[in-house]
Amino acid sequence: MSNTDKARPSRRAALLGDRPGNYAIAKQVRMSAQKVRRVVDMVRGMGVDDALNTLKFAPQAASEPVYKVVASAAANAENTDGLRRNDLYISQAFVDEGMTMRRIRPRAKGSASRILKRSSHITVVVEPRSNDTENKKKEA
């Protein structure tokens, strides 16, 4: 029996719903998700321009792929939805684990140990700042 009557929602609908904005995803980035999450947590909620400047000078190696994903999400929003880059902020950013490549390292007495080469998927969603969020920031 097929599940044609229960169609899975599109990725855009799951991430944004009816709100304006756009997203970008980088898959199979050859870095562990734990290391990338440190960088993503640093820029979540920032404006796009501020986040790009922060990532450009961050010492972590994971800042380069995160920079590319944020820049891609901003470009997608500019070209697809016609939004201005200055108004955009990172509303959601998360990192999932990707495929793990398993390799063997020879050890003493003919045994072997496993090397795990991890990868991750980086997702960034950008949205324009609405007047409601700006008013809440001014009040706080």
Tokens 């090397």 identify what position?
A: 115
Residue 5 within any structural domain of the chain: no
pLDDT at 9: 78
- Residue 57 domain-assigned (yes or no): yes
Average pLDDT of span 79-97 = 93
Residue 56: inside a domain, yes or no?
A: yes
Tell me the average pLDDT of the chain.
89
Q: Is residue 1 part of a domain?
A: no
Q: 22 in helix, strand or coil? A: strand
Q: What DSSP element (H or E) covers 32? A: none
Confidence of residue 130 (pLDDT cuts 50, 70, 90): confident
Write the CB contacts of 120 (distance below 8 Å, at least 6 apart in sequence): 29, 31, 32, 33, 36, 95, 96, 97, 98
Q: How confident is the model at residue 112 (pLDDT cuts 50, 70, 90)?
A: very high
Q: Is residue 121 part of a domain?
A: yes
pLDDT at 2 over 60: no
**Domain annotation covers residue 119:** yes
**Total number of domains in the chain:** 1
pTM of the model: 0.84
Crossing angle of the two packed helices 33-43 and 63-81, in degrees rounded to 10: 50
H-helix or E-strand spanning residue 96: strand 88-97
What is the pLDDT confidence band of residue 4, given thresholds at 50, 70 and 90?
Answer: low
DSSP bridge partners of 124: 24, 93
Q: Return the CATH number at 77.
A: 3.90.470.10
Instruction: Give the per-residue pLDDT at 138.
Output: 53
- Residue 71 burial (CB < 10 Å; 0-12/13-18/19+)? middle
Confidence band of 63 (pLDDT split at 50, 70, 90): very high
Cα three-residue angle 55-61-65, rounded to 5 degrees: 60
Give the whole-angstrom CA distance, residue 89 versus residue 87: 7
pLDDT of residue 10: 86
Residue 24's CB: how many other CB atoms inside 10 A? Answer: 19
Q: What residues make up the domain containing 56?
A: 19-131
Region 117-127: what's the mean pLDDT? 96
What pLDDT, on a 0 to 100 scale, did the predictor assign at position 134? Answer: 53
